[in-house]
Chain A
Amino acid sequence: MVRRILPILAGLLWASSAFAADVTLLNVSYDPTRELYADFNKAFAAAYQKETGKSVEIKQSHGGSGSQARAVIDGLQADVVTLALAYDIDAIAGKGLIPPDWQKRLPLNASPYTSTIVFLVRKGNPKGIKDWDDLIKSGVSVITPNPKTSGGARWNYLAAWGYALKKYGSADKAKQFVGDLYRNVPVLDTGARGSTVTFVERAVGDVLLAWENEAFLAQRQFGKDKFEIVSPPLSILAEPPLSVVDKVADKKGTRAVAEAYLKYWYTKEGQEIAARNSYRPRDPEIAREYQASFAKVELFTIDDVFGGWTKAQKEHFAEGGVFDQIYKN
Chain B
Amino acid sequence: MSELQSYLSSARDDLRTEPRPVRIVIIAIAVIFLVVFVVLPLVVVFAQAFSKGIGAYLSALSDPEAWSAIRLTLLVAAISVSLNLVFGVIAAWAIAKFEFRGKTFLISLIDLPFSVSPVISGLVFVLLFGGQGYWGPWLQAHNIQVLFAVPGIALATIFVTFPFVARALIPLMQEQGTLEEEAAISLGASGLQTFFRVTLPNIKWGVLYGVLLCNARAMGEFGAVSVVSGHIRGETNTMPLLVEILYNEYQFVSSFAIASLLAMLALITLVAKTILEQHLDEGQQPRGD
Touch A–B, Cβ below 8 Å: yes
Instruction: State whether B147 touches A74 (Cβ < 8 A).
Output: yes
What 6 pairs across the A-B complex have the smallest Cβ distances? A74-B130, A193-B248, A75-B131, A76-B230, A76-B148, A61-B231
User: Given A75-B139, A200-B250, 5 other A-B contacts at CB below 8 A?
Assistant: A60-B233, A73-B131, A75-B136, A77-B148, A222-B250
Binds B, one of A11-19, A278-286, A304-312: A11-19
- A58-102 contacts to B (CB < 8 Å): 59-63, 71, 73-77, 95
Which residue in chain B gives the minimum CB-CB distance to A72?
A: B131
21 A-B pairs within 8 Å (CB atoms) are namely A9-B78, A12-B71, A12-B74, A12-B75, A34-B249, A60-B232, A62-B231, A73-B130, A73-B131, A74-B133, A74-B147, A75-B131, A75-B136, A75-B145, A75-B147, A95-B132, A193-B248, A197-B247, A201-B252, A218-B250, A251-B143
- Does B193 belong to the interface (CB within 8 Å)? no
Instruction: State whether A59 touches B232 (Cβ < 8 A).
Output: yes
A194-B248, A201-B252 are known contacts. Are A75 and B78 too (CB-CB below 8 A)? no
Which residue in chain B gives the minimum CB-CB distance to A31?
A: B248
- Does B140 belong to the interface (CB within 8 Å)? yes
Tally chain B residues at the interface, Cβ within 8 Å.
Answer: 33
Q: How far is the CA of A304 from the CA of B39 in the complex (A)?
A: 56
- Does B57 belong to the interface (CB within 8 Å)? no
B247: chain A residues within 8 A (beta carbon):
197
Instruction: State whether A77 touches B131 (Cβ < 8 A).
Output: no
- Does A26 belong to the interface (CB within 8 Å)? yes
Instruction: Kindly supply a per-residue 1/0 record for chain B positions 69-85, scoring 1 wherever the CB is within 8 Å of any chain A CB and 0 otherwise.
Output: 00110110010001000
- Does A270 belong to the interface (CB within 8 Å)? no
A59-B233, A59-B234, A61-B231 are known contacts. Are A77 and B252 too (CB-CB below 8 A)? no
A74 is contacted by which of B71, B126, B250 (Cβ under 8 Å)? B126
A193: chain B residues within 8 A (beta carbon):
248-249
Instruction: State whether B148 touches A75 (Cβ < 8 A).
Output: yes
Tally A-B pairs: CB < 8 A.
76
Instruction: State whether B147 touches A76 (Cβ < 8 A).
Output: yes
Instruction: State whether A9 touches B248 (Cβ < 8 A).
Output: no
Please report A residues at the B interface, Cβ cutoff 8 Å: 5, 9, 12-13, 15-16, 26, 31, 34, 59-63, 71, 73-77, 95, 191, 193-194, 197, 200-201, 218, 221-222, 251
- Does B235 belong to the interface (CB within 8 Å)? yes
Instruction: State whether A13 touches B147 (Cβ < 8 A).
Output: no
B164: chain A residues within 8 A (beta carbon):
none
A13-B75, A15-B71 are known contacts. Are A75 and B252 too (CB-CB below 8 A)? no
- Does B129 belong to the interface (CB within 8 Å)? yes
Q: How far is the CA of A12 from the CA of B252 in the complex (A)?
A: 27
- Does B245 belong to the interface (CB within 8 Å)? yes
Instruction: State whether A75 touches B143 (Cβ < 8 A).
Output: no
B230 is contacted by which of A34, A71, A218 (Cβ under 8 Å)? A71
B235: chain A residues within 8 A (beta carbon):
16, 59
Instruction: State whether B230 touches A61 (Cβ < 8 A).
Output: yes
Most buried by A among B71, B136, B232: B232
Q: How far is the CA of A42 from the CA of B143 in the complex (A)?
A: 29
A63: chain B residues within 8 A (beta carbon):
231
Q: How far is the CA of A218 from the CA of B248 in the complex (A)?
A: 11
B143: chain A residues within 8 A (beta carbon):
251
- B240-269 contacts to A (CB < 8 Å): 245, 247-250, 252
B75: chain A residues within 8 A (beta carbon):
9, 12-13
Rounded to whole Å, the gap between the CB of A203 and the closest CB of chain B is 14
- Does B68 belong to the interface (CB within 8 Å)? yes
Rounded to whole Å, the gap between the CB of A192 and the closest CB of chain B is 9
B248: chain A residues within 8 A (beta carbon):
31, 191, 193-194, 197
B131 is contacted by which of A13, A15, A74 (Cβ under 8 Å)? A74
B250: chain A residues within 8 A (beta carbon):
197, 200-201, 218, 221-222
